[in-house]
Amino acid sequence: MRTLVLCDDKYHPARIARAGLEPLTAAGFSFDFIENAEEWSAERMADYPLVVVAKANAPQVWVTPTEEAAFLDYVQQGKGLLVIHSGTAGLREQAGMRGLLGGVFVKHPPQCPVTVEPKADHP
């Protein structure tokens, strides 16, 4: 599935999103990445059945009311939107995006060690 990915901000480098999504290519996903928000447009987004947002709206604000309306329209057309971690940051004042996503970051907790223990029999 052709997927558009918006990523890269001050605290979440694009290489993290790229590395995290790369294993999905084996399942038939192909990714086109936008790291500079100025390259995003509603028209470009419309060409994809799925958009992944892993780009914070801070410190550089790129989700204005125009972009917010485009995302709402995109989803209302039945297309897929996956917003992960950093994509929910900096949207506290955008009521439409907040409603679409079901919530946004209020603040980031302090970084701490995290242990991941995958189950051996989980697919």
Domain ranges for the chain: 2-101
In the predicted model, what is the mean pLDDT of residues 14-27? Answer: 96
Give the phi and the psi of residue 54 in degrees, each rounded to 5.
-130, 40
Q: Kindly state the percentage of the chain with pLDDT values over 70.
A: 100
Q: What single DSSP character describes residue 89?
A: T
More confident residue, 9 or 107: 9
pLDDT of residue 66: 94
Bigger pLDDT: 109 or 14?
14
Q: How far apart are CA 104 and CA 82, in angstroms?
A: 13
In CATH terms, the fold of domain 2-101 is Rossmann fold (3.40.50)
Q: So what's the pLDDT on residue 121?
A: 87
| Whether pLDDT at 122 is above 90 | no
pLDDT band at residue 42 using 50, 70 and 90 as cut-offs = very high
